[in-house]
Copies of this chain bind each other. A is one copy, B any other.
């Protein structure tokens, strides 16, 4: 590591409406409110979060580089210039830990190529928290992001997940665009084997937290969970 470079801190944010003290360590909060240079997904929510955890800085004098689906790959190397000039930087996720289920790793790749030290910090990960609370196998698990949108490709993928659960004893974890949660739930009930277990984890760490586990055949008999347009993570296991 070149000593004259700044460090890149990977800073998790809250994932719910609860107090930040519930899910963000003091040290991570202190580091977050004292940095001057950030890579963020959205400037408005990043500033709102920094105020919420106690920042009193003048945001107009600070750097906020925007990394989202509209960002051009060729622009990313310029984001880490503050580090190259000796300033510490923060990479802030929109919700939860950065570089997991978001494009933050593109910034880390560029920083690593330049020899900048990258420091991961602790905060809430809905993937890990849902896995913990599911009772499913936590010694072998996969997070696969989104399922295919196409109906036939999706049905095939669900069967492939079942195969991995049964043959490899691997818990399968995935997410969906919140407005399609209900549709995904219905498809799982119609496509998966009756004995497969489905864990639904909604609004983890928030006032509206719900974490429920049933087999597919049990889910068919219970009341539908209220997950439409709510942050939800899905886990399958045997």
* Chain A interface (Cβ < 8 Å from any Cβ of B): 10, 19, 21-28, 97-106, 108-109, 111-112, 118-125, 127-145, 170, 204-205, 211, 213
Give the CA-CA distance A25 to B15 in the complex, in Å.
14
Residue from A112, A119, A120, A136 with most neighbouring chain B CB atoms (10 Å): A120
Assembled-state Cα–Cα distance A130/B100 (Å): 11
- Identify 10 new A-B residue pairs, CB closer than 8 A, beyond the known A99-B131, A105-B132, A125-B128: A19-B27, A21-B25, A99-B132, A104-B138, A108-B132, A108-B134, A112-B135, A139-B145, A140-B143, A144-B170
Is there contact, CB below 8 Å, between A122 and B119? no
Q: Chain B residue with minimal CB distance to A26? A: B21
Task: Please tell me which one of the listed residues B26, B97, B137 contacts residue A105 in the complex, with CB atoms under 8 A apart.
Answer: B137
The residue among A19, A111, A131 with the most chain B CB atoms within 10 A of its own CB is A131
B124 touching A129 by the CB < 8 A rule?
A: no
> Whose C-beta in chain B lies nearest to the C-beta of A130?
B120
Interface pair B24/A25, CB less than 8 Å apart: yes
- Provide the residues of chain B in CB contact with A98, threshold 8 Å: 132
Report, nearest first, the 8 A-B pairs whose CB atoms are least far apart.
Answer: A108-B135, A142-B142, A120-B129, A109-B135, A100-B138, A120-B132, A120-B133, A99-B132
In the complex, A10 Cα to B135 Cα: how many Å?
11
Given A108-B135, A122-B205, A141-B142, residue A128 in contact with residue B97 (CB < 8 A): yes
Contact of A118 among B27, B100, B133 (CB under 8 A): B133
A120 interface neighbour in B21, B104, B204, Cβ under 8 Å: B204
**Chain B contacts for A118, CB-based, 8 A:** 133, 135, 211
Which chain B residues lie closer than 8 Å to A104 at the CB level? 132, 138
Give the CA-CA distance A133 to B11 in the complex, in Å. Answer: 11
* Identity of the chain B residue whose Cβ is nearest the Cβ of A100 in the assembled complex: B138
Pair A25/B22 contact, Cβ less than 8 Å: yes
Residues of B within 8 A of A119 (CB): 133
The distance from the CB of A146 to the nearest CB of chain B, in whole angstroms, is 8
Taking A21-B26, A25-B24 as contacts, is the C-beta distance between A140 and B145 under 8 angstroms? Answer: yes
Task: Report the Cα distance A22→B139, complex, angstroms.
Answer: 25
